[in-house]
Structure 1
């Protein structure tokens, strides 16, 4: 089974690049199949990681960033992959 973890944070004003850099420097205690870093308007940063694990497995997640880098609480979601289409 493939479990996907999504981590999304909204950067404090004009700190999107700094938040992205912070997220990319975080090391997880295990290695996922894949990690993708995305950005969106409003200085939002999204990190998606794919894991070969059951849905309820204990998986390492990105921590909360330093409070001065964000304007609100981090959002986290967990999904299970049901299909992949090229």
Structure 2
């Protein structure tokens, strides 16, 4: 599959000049995203993705997140300013 083509357009919501790949766009200003079906060519299947992990390779284990912070009680924080 050939490499993606860099394409440019105007955001349909806010008018910002945006760039995308193969006619697929996402605006960083207003959050508008066009539908994937509007692209200039089909998206690759998972088996065509060069970044796909090799068969038999498992996902890495998720590391545990930080412990939840205790909730503060009213009046225990800093006093509001004048």
Asked whether the two chains share a fold, i.e. TM above 0.5, the reply is: no
Bigger relative contact order (CA 8 A; separation at least 6): 1
Query: Greater helix percent: which structure?
Result: 1
Query: Greater strand percent: which structure?
Result: 1
Q: Which has the larger radius of gyration?
A: 2
**How does the TM-score come out when normalised to structure 2?**
0.27
